Amino acid sequence: MKRLPDIDVVLLSWNRSQMTLETVHNLIKQEDVNLKIWIVDQGSKEEELQLLKEATKQYPNVQITELKRNVGVPAGRNIGTHLGNAEYTVSIDNDAIFESSDALKRVVEIFEQEPKIAVVSFRIKNFYTGQDDELSWVYPKTLKSSRDKRFLTARFVGCGHAIRRQVFEKVGGYDDDLFFYWEEVDFSFRAINLGYQLVYTPEISVLHKVAPEARVRWEDQRFYFLVRNAIYINLKYNQDFLKALVLALGYTVKGFYNFLPLQALRGVVDGIRMYKKLSFKSLGSSLQLTESARNYVWEHETQYRGNLLNRLKSEVFVGLPTRD
């Protein structure tokens, strides 16, 4: 009898234990894989944590690691991934479930058939409406017409994706310093630099429990992290201060346009500080994108974002997205 392939699933948990349990129950039903679930709890309330522990005691393949505090998304995923040892690791938000019971089986098939694929990015739909979750569309807007098709990409979505462990170890995992926002882009650049590819795969879909009335609160430092990490990553991989200056100007204008000027300005300043700190570690030159990597990013990302005028209209002078 053929042995089932091993696969790890990392779940970051912070309160919302009932939703996390619904995700666990959905994962347990996945077919034709030897599954281990690594829950990384980032400081949930005691009653929420106890609920999680009691409800998962019946599952020997579910392990909970308590961190006592929120260490951020990239650090949490690093911890969860290092706990396992399967060849492939899946991350899914703890308010999401797979639409089909063969999703993880398909992940394994893609990785085994295509050795150059480092990351498989899933299709994300709204659990309540069945429509695509617009805030989880991280690719160029012009590619939305291709959302039913498979395509190579230069980034992946955090809500649902799978990573080849060999690549995870080669690139050194996620950058913990990012804490929140753009950690997937940062990881993608390092994987592409090594000659790997990333693929968007709509046949593997995740249902994200985004309540129709829920809103993204940009006032809660969300825009700050977006700007800070964008500046940092641009400098980290391009090492071009002129491009970083143009990017900083664009985000500053966008910040003023959306009545969040202080978050934008702080983000620019702190992004530069983060890069300078990185430079002191003597890592900067080794992270610069190769010519091959730049060509890959251009082919599968940049060219679809259009010229400067189009980007000003679609990315700068626009309101920040909400959930409603």
Cβ neighbours of residue 77 closer than 8 Å, sequence gap 6 or more: 10, 12, 40, 91, 173, 174, 183
Confidence category of residue 128, pLDDT binned at 50, 70, 90: very high
The predicted structure's pLDDT at residue 321: 79
The predicted structure's pLDDT at residue 211: 60
Residue 57 has pLDDT above 50, yes or no: yes
In the predicted model, what is the mean pLDDT of residues 212-239? 82
The predicted structure's pLDDT at residue 286: 59
Average the pLDDT over each of 36-40, 50-54, 121-125, 218-222 and give the range with the smallest value.
218-222
Q: Which amino acid is at 50?
A: Q
Residue 216 has pLDDT above 60, yes or no: no
Please enumerate, as own/partner, the contacts of 98-103 that have beta carbons within 8 Å and a separation of 24 or more: 98/26, 98/27, 98/30, 98/160, 98/204, 98/205, 98/206, 98/207, 99/125, 99/205, 99/206, 99/207, 100/204, 100/205, 101/29, 101/30, 101/31, 102/30, 102/31, 102/32, 103/30, 103/204, 103/205, 103/206
Residue 106 has pLDDT above 50, yes or no: yes
The predicted structure's pLDDT at residue 212: 54
Residue 280 has pLDDT above 60, yes or no: no
Confidence category of residue 324, pLDDT binned at 50, 70, 90: very low
Confidence category of residue 266, pLDDT binned at 50, 70, 90: very high
Give tens-digit pLDDT for 244-258. 999 999 999 999 999
* Whole-number average pLDDT of the chain: 92
The predicted structure's pLDDT at residue 284: 44
Residue 62 has pLDDT above 50, yes or no: yes
Confidence category of residue 213, pLDDT binned at 50, 70, 90: very low
In the predicted model, what is the mean pLDDT of residues 68-92? 97
Average the pLDDT over each of 180-189, 221-230, 236-245 and give the range with the smallest value.
236-245
Ramachandran region of residue 5, left (φ > 0), alpha (ψ -120 to 50) or beta? beta
Write the secondary structure of the chain as one string of H (helix), E (strand) and C (coil). Answer: CCCCCEEEEEEEECCCHHHHHHHHHHHHCCCCCEEEEEEEECCCCHHHHHHHHHHHCCCCCEEEEECCCCCCHHHHHHHHHHHCCCCEEEEECCCEEECCCCHHHHHHHHHHHCCCEEEEEEEEEECCCCCECHHHCCCCHHHHHHCCCCEEECCCCCCEEEEEHHHHHHHCCCCHHHCCCCHHHHHHHHHHHCCCEEEEEEEEEEEECCCCCCCCCCCCCHHHHHHHHHHHHHHHHHCCHHHHHHHHHHHHHHHHHCCCHHHHHHHHHHHHHHHHHHHHCCCHHHHCCCHHHHHHHHHHCHHHHCCHHHHHHHHHCCCCCCCC
In the predicted model, what is the mean pLDDT of residues 107-117? 98
Give tens-digit pLDDT for 136-173. 999 999 999 999 999 999 999 999 999 999 999 999 99
Closest by CA to 138, choosing from 167, 161, 162, is 161
pTM of the model: 0.94
